[in-house]
Structure 1
């Protein structure tokens, strides 16, 4: 038996996000709001210019919004191999796919995976006559275009746990205005979004959380937009002085941490766009829809910055650093304007006559 399960294939998602969004779609549960904490940025030049440690995308854990608003708790379940196989068969017989956490090294259908030993999420949709696992690769579905086979031996060797989604609480009404205001304040003043959701878990009211965010604002001398401009200035200095170019030495883009960190910032914008687009359609807010499209365009601009780093790292094109600096300056002002417009749209919805 093979389940007719569909993957939400999106290049912006990692394997966990793909698995969760696809599983929730299968169960007809809305999930798009889980990326509300994906728009962020921080740069600390004191850590060291142009290193991955100096850049923080400040992206929240998608599990927290799912828990706070959807009442969905994600837990790991670890069984013996024998009980694990029984669990898979039971779930499939009841028309439920299984989210498997395995070691990526034992995903034999990709030679690239053999270079690493780390956690990877697969969606099990069946078992064939030989007892091998039929699954979908949440990290590379666009590449394989369908099911892949994991042998019994690789399953045993790579097995770590199952991801179980439980309805912990009833789904709460989502106030889109609160989501927007909180996310904008967190993003602007470089407050990690997870902090807000832990406050919500501890039952703090929206008013108390808003006051905490406003208070935090007084202690932030620089906004995230200022930090993007600082990064642009730092890159410009590197370009003219031709120093601090250590990041160029790692020409393997799969391991170049600075290149990957820039990419993560770009995907954060794409994910936030997904949430904005969802809220615009769910609550029929035309201004939100228009702004979401512009934010999606910004994600492409970040991808351009990533491309310039690619040119610099792979092709030793130092001139691309100057282009990256110029692009980042434009991004900073565009993001600042979009954040203000988003905030104003939410405030206008709360106080329509003000």
Structure 2
């Protein structure tokens, strides 16, 4: 009988079993099932147990290996990239920190920038191969309180006088040992726009009503302006000022005499953006607008006349024939020695 008990203890020390009436754990502990627990066992397999109540238990790798009397799985070859290894850490001061058995078995893979653990908690390593401290992201509403000062949530630095310390710190203020309270300032939020924006028009904060043209809609709106689909920007403020659209639009021009110049389809499609001082075209050309919002007229270039030729106002160079000279030079033309009259403005 003693020999049987000794054999059972030896088997329990090197193996683990899940049976119909109890469990032998890898560390030698025994758990006896109650009658209800034993009657609830439906099927015991190689990797787990299925119970009659519908629940199930999954064996971990170590228990499944011992339960099936299999050889222990080969542990991957430990490769250390730095001071952090599978068995411990070599600290910068030369001291060694030895891992416990549980810490050692919890390490799965050690890489050059981090450690993967069995419990799912991964460690980040710094450039020296040492674990970084677990940092909690500081919320936007939190202040940094130290022994010599405070950094408010908005970034303001407050230096504490000598001998003064922080007695209590809360989310919005701090109490000093002198009895003084420091209220944290907050970043000011942008005030919401007071403009009324609808599908058919805009009422600016100053009360100015702006009617949208037919087919034009609002692309983007902000606290101080709105951008329309035709490229025009409506600027509004409290002083009843806004950028009034000029006579030059995406589909045509309203002339000072009241006549409308309607663009063709190609001309209208070529207009990219109409601004208060100019128009940007799709083909890359720009049109400069004057103070009245109308296209500015280009100043006519002056012709250039020399001894051997001339350049017309349009930029065309003309070379004199050999031996021909200028007899008379006027503002708009030339008379050459061969009797030819030349017009400088084409």
Q: TM-score, length-normalised on structure 2? A: 0.17
More helix by share: 1
More strand by share: 2
Structure number with bigger Rg: 2
